[in-house]
A and B are shown apart, each in its own frame.
Chain A
Amino acid sequence: MSSTVEVRGLAKRFAIGGLRGRAYVHAVDDVSFELRPGTVTALVGESGSGKTTVARLIARLHEASEGQVLFQEGDVLRTKSRRRLLRYRAQVQMIFQDPFGSLNPVKTIRHHIERPLRIHRIVPGAQVEERVHELLRTVGLVPPEDIAAKYPHELSGGQRQRVAIARALAVEPKVVLADEPTSMLDVSIRIGILNLMIKLKEERQIAFLYVTHDLASARYIADEMMVMYAGQIVERGPVEQVLAEPLHPYTQLLLAAAPDPAKRIGDDPIEPSKGVAAAAVDPTDGCRFAARCPIAVGICSQVTPALVEARPGQIARCHVTAPSPDVAAVISS
């Protein structure tokens, strides 16, 4: 299947510190992947791993330091044409984590959904109202006439997130970047939002990027999964395969740490980590996970591992579990 968006070698460096002792956080480093129509691709990792930055780079909310984002007729990161940029923005929409902060408190719900319809001239003026109602119905907000007249504070968190989704859908996007869309919602209504995303994926063939730290929800809605650590993708593959047989020790750690009603805490304790966060600040050669890794060998702190397809469709960045041929030769000798 052809891809909708192709990300190639994407990188973002943020400068930190003052004039003296300036350092760079490699928030995103050499990230490549594709988003395909009718597919949910999950991007998981802990806070600070760079997963949100990836979504924001694709949405062009940050300027990338390096790399390309290919969409239809070319690289959207380099495009100078305002018209093309507007068209790109209409087709690539973002849903944010905080449904309380992403709606204007003094405007009605109707206003929020009308605006993109008018700005991007999706439907003739006379049909705007009808389309607003249709969108509200699509995201399960009924009766739409009542909801449209309300203000954000009159809605619950789950309803607000549905409004944010309706607004994103207004412009008939091909791609939706959803940044932790359920993490601020109550447990009992999260599933509703996830089910809505599945429905939209199936009915509208939207390509979703689902950014989350929750492996279980990623398994629930995603087809493909990418695991990020310290700015790099460390594992990628079909979601069931990655979760059933994770290659990268970091994926294994995430899996062991995820809440699981089937076990008792302390049954299967994880190792307390020694040193974490600094891995993406002015990184040197070597694996960024090496300091926390239970299976690291000598080469891990010297040579940066490449992404290697160790099993069909499953790619990992690990010298031990997914060695490249030349590294395998070094390790075995």
Chain B
Amino acid sequence: MISVVEPSPFGARRPEAAVAGSRGLRVLELRKLVVDYRVSGKRVRAVDGIDLEIRQGEILGLAGESGCGKSTVANAVMQILRPPARITGGSILFQDEDVTAMSTDRLRRYRWNDVSMVFQSAMNALNPVMRVEDQFLDMMRAHRRVSKREALARAGDLLELVGIEQRRLRAYPHELSGGMRQRVIIAMALALQPELVILDEPTTALDVVVQREILQQVQEIQRQLGFSVLFITHDLSLLLEVADRISIMYAGEIVESATAEQLAKQPRHPYTQGLLESFPPLHGELTRLTGIPGSPPDLSNPPAGCRFHPRCPYCDPANAGLFARQTTERPLLELVEPGHEVACHLVSGGGA
């Protein structure tokens, strides 16, 4: 891929992206992605053949519980999986270019220029003995040829974008609050105008008020700059507010994909329904909730058939025909309405 020569190293990369309606170009596509962890001869399949697609300017939410493989997906996209984790099947396409086949040199440009990532508890990712400005300089000059002055000016603009005064460039990380540190990391992730920003539980360690402030800002900036976001979290109630489309992961598989509206109105997979039933409402009628009985499976020995069947309220030996399929046959994602896919035997015929 030949990079376009631009007057400024940080100049607007694709102003057309900010125009409404340009949504549609595919930025990232995962096809049947499989990631295995090999631990002393045992294979743990953390990601088992998932398909995902992120289009330009869209916020895709990926929700699931700890251990469902959602962070492994992010690490695979960034190509930062470390042994014993390895991609053992499928492909990751960034603008139709196979990420798994990239050279070391191409990967260096791909990471941070094309796709950047904000990690869980990223606020601890800052170097405690370096001023914020030096960390910006380090990162920017590793990727672009810029003078110190240009880079600092850019860093100052970025800080203002995320709601921090420019003078804080001189601060050390310990002089900033947790929320401010997280904002600094987000500013860094945006510095090179990537096409895609991966946010992996970006606000989980923060207070609700700070969380909302940061999410408001991210959304505003995203609207301005037009990049795409892969937003990973366990907090489905948050995703329903933030994301355009949401995919629900369970035990290494995607069990449901839909727009946020569809998911909020009519969740089809019993796991999604259970997750939504796990958040007590802040307003309106209060009923006794049930959550989901049991706990997520051990991925080194996942249940046969539908992986959710041991916890599923609709899995009943009395309903012999359906029960046999639920416990032996793996359900595949099927379209139930435009934009809404579900992997569940109840939906694919068999009757609930």
Question: Which residues in A have some Cβ–Cβ distance to B below 8 Å?
Answer: 46-47, 156-159, 186-192, 194-195, 213-217, 219-220, 243, 253-266, 269-270, 272-273, 276-277
Contact = CB atoms under 8 A, between A and B. Distances in A.
A157 B296 CA distance: 11
- Report the contact-size class of chain B (Cβ under 8 Å from the partner): 35 or more
A159 B238 CA distance: 26
B336 interface: no
Given A187-B275, A259-B235, A260-B237, A266 B220 contact: yes
Nearest to A156: B295
12 contacts: A47-B207, A156-B296, A186-B296, A188-B292, A191-B278, A216-B281, A243-B282, A254-B208, A260-B237, A260-B283, A265-B216, A269-B216
Interface in B267-318: 274-283, 286, 288-293, 295-296
Contacts of A272: 163, 213, 216-217
Central interface residue in B211, B260, B274, B282, by most chain A CB within 10 Å: B282
A263 B241 contact: yes
B220 A213 contact: no
Contacts of B286: 219-220
A256 B209 CA distance: 8
Given A187-B275, A195-B291, 16 more contacts: A156-B295, A186-B295, A187-B279, A188-B278, A189-B292, A214-B208, A219-B282, A220-B280, A220-B286, A243-B282, A256-B212, A259-B237, A261-B236, A262-B283, A264-B260, A266-B219
A195 B286 CA distance: 13
A330 B351 CA distance: 69
A268 to B, nearest CB: 10
Nearest to B281: A216
B240 interface: yes
B201 to A, nearest CB: 13
A147 to B, nearest CB: 13
B215 to A, nearest CB: 5
Nearest to A155: B295
Nearest to B250: A188
B234 interface: yes
A159 B294 CA distance: 9
Nearest to A47: B207
B186 to A, nearest CB: 14
Nearest to B271: A188
Given A270-B213, A272-B213, A220 B289 contact: yes
B160 interface: no
A270 B236 contact: no
